Amino acid sequence: MTEPRTEPPTKLRASLKSRQKFSLNWDYLNAIAHGVSAIDLGALALRNLHDARQFVREYGFDLDQPAAPALIRRVHREAVDFIAATFLAPGHAALMPRAVSHPDDPLQLLVYASHRGQQADLRRLWSCAVLKVMHGIFYIDNNLKLRHFPTIREQVFATLDEVIHCDGERYFLTDGDTCLPLLHFERKSDKGRNSILLKLLQKAAYLAADIYDHLGVRLVFATRFECLLALRTLQRAHLLSVTNVDSQRTRNTLLDLAAAKQIYTKYRAMLERSEEYPAELLQTMDAELMALSQPQTRSDNPHSGDGFCSIQVTVRKMIHLHEDAPAVVPLDGAQEYDVGFFFEYEIQLMDQASHAHSLSGPASHDAYKRRQVDTARTRVFGRELLAWIAAAPLADAAPGAAPAPCAAQCPPLCPHQSPAQCPAQTAACAENPDEKKRPG
């Protein structure tokens, strides 16, 4: 029996020769070298479907597994539907080219997103928009912590239930010693999938791990001083400590602690002598606090409205998986403790006036969500596609067809048929006759 013949190994030698034209994609390489977020890119750098398949493999999907193409198709459909429902007016939903909204193979979008040229630009921009949303959905679906969300929710709220008690229709915050009456108590037990996706798309880091308000509570007290006392109660119950609070995520736009210390020192003896709950005294202290306080402006959230005041603390809690969860054995082979990981949730403290202010106007949650949508829309579409959509007539939108550009346009993606319809006919065009001679 003869041994199979083996070919001698190919000898490698340094070379810059390529079967295709040698070139560099400067925008794409710049994004990699300088850490530009994927959501802020205007194009990819793939040449064909073979490149697209290699890209998808390194992204994490084995296309030889039957479930993988079906999963990608499902996520593509969800992304298209999300864009239509969240970012587009009803009459604009049909503006997305059919090759992008209903492709024979969703991988084709990776190729469309890489090709530039007058006829390809519109398809590239829409493909980029859909791929950005798909990227966010993949992050959500592959966040291992969220797969254990019922266990996480159970353990987080079990801890909070130890200090938040209900007596009839009233809630109280207590550490077993002091007992503070709550005017309002809200529990966020789950952040909806679309809300998570929207938040991902407007965040610079673009990671599901950076969503900190999947779970949380809002505690509303009559006065700001009671919010300060609530911090003390949570600290004495060990829900808050310097080791389990994320200092980079703490936001205080409610309390001037230096001023509060002065007022507290002045009234401390009266507080200690109070037999009943000193509601009136706390109101008096609050009035003096407001007169003495400096505005607290540490809020890094660009979508928070003017006048939104709260103390927001992000707390890390170690979550322990149930016994039937897969075990991870340490490197030394000894399993000494159950599997655990840290999960972050939010505690928000507000006084009555701040809470009332947050229910309407710029500080309201509805206004906050609108600002989030505006930011996410701009990042997903990019300014070029946004301008094209804004100029497109609602009634004339037809599936799969991009309107013909006008002859005297300024933007390269104008959807109007004639200069008379085109809002791009600016004074700059009128002053530059040569500009009007540019082909559409």
Question: Same domain, yes or no, for 111 and 75?
Answer: yes
Residues 306 and 226 in one domain: yes
Residues 156, 134 share a domain: no
Closest to 358 measured CA to CA, from 230, 232, 254, 286? 254
**Mean predicted confidence (pLDDT) in 152-161:** 92
- What are the two backbone dihedrals, phi and then psi, of residue 240, each rounded to the nearest 5 degrees? -115, 130
**Does 406 fall in a domain?**
yes
Check pLDDT > 70 for residue 65. yes
Residue 346, domain member (yes or no): yes
Question: Does residue 431 carry a pLDDT above 50?
Answer: no
180 and 81 in a single domain? The answer is no
The residue among 141, 157, 178 that closes a domain is 141
pLDDT of residue 136 exceeding 80, the answer is yes
What pLDDT, in 10s, does the model give residues 241-273? 888 998 888 889 999 999 999 999 999 999 999
Burial state string for 289-302 with b = 16 or more CB within 10 A and e = fewer than 16: beeebeebeebeee
- pLDDT interval class at 4 (50, 70, 90): low
Structure tokens at 77: 């459909």
CATH number where 190 lies: 3.30.460.10
The domain boundary residue, chosen from 141, 162, 197: 141
Q: Coil, strand, or helix at residue 6? A: coil
- Establish if 265 belongs to a structural domain: no
Q: Give yes or no for residue 296 having a pLDDT over 80.
A: no
Fill in the DSSP letter of residue 242.
T
Higher pLDDT, 199 or 411: 199
Whether residue 359 is found in the same domain as residue 424: no
Is there a single domain that holds both residue 42 and residue 135? yes
Are 168 and 311 found together in one domain?
Answer: yes
* 287 part of a folded domain: no
User: Does residue 311 sit within a domain?
Assistant: yes
Query: Do 313 and 173 lie in a common domain?
Result: yes
Mean pLDDT, residues 188-215:
73
Same domain, 321 and 208: yes
Question: What pLDDT, on a 0 to 100 scale, did the predictor assign at position 303?
Answer: 43
Residue 323 has a pLDDT of 62
- Both tokens of 75, joined, read 């996520």
Q: Which residues contact 437 (CB under 8 A, 6 or more apart)?
A: none
Asked whether residue 302 falls in the same domain as residue 195, the answer is yes
Backbone angles phi, psi at 254, to 5 degrees: -110, -45
Which residues constitute the domain of residue 410?
A: 380-436
Asked if 165 and 137 sit in the same domain, the reply is: no
pLDDT digits (tens, 9 = 90+) for 90-125: 889 889 999 999 999 999 999 999 887 766 689 999
Return the beta strands (E) in 331-425 as ranges. 340-351
pTM: 0.67
| Residue 405 pLDDT level (bands cut at 50, 70, 90) | very low
**Which of 141, 174, 206 is the last residue before a domain boundary?**
141
Residue 16 belongs to a domain:
no
- 350 pairs with which residues across the strands? 220
142 pLDDT above the threshold of 80: yes
Lowest mean pLDDT among 143-147, 230-234, 250-254, 406-410: 406-410
Residue 274 has pLDDT above 50, yes or no: yes
Rounded to an integer, what distance in angstroms lies between the CA atom of residue 80 and that of residue 390?
19
Domain count, the chain: 3
Q: Is residue 87 part of a domain?
A: yes
Residue 1, CA distances (Å) to 4, 5, 7 in order = 9, 12, 19
> Minimal CA–CA distance to 203: which of 125, 150, 132?
132
Q: Give the 3-state secondary structure of residue 51.
A: helix
My answer on whether 193 and 236 are in the same domain is yes
Domain assignment of residue 224, yes or no? yes
Instruction: Evaluate if residue 436 carries a pLDDT over 80.
Output: no
pLDDT value for 143:
81
Please tell me the distance from the alpha carbon of residue 288 to that of residue 190, in angstroms, as a whole number: 38
* pLDDT computed for residue 129 by the predictor: 94
The pLDDT-based confidence of 402 (bands split at 50, 70, 90) is: very low
pLDDT for the residue numbered 306: 52
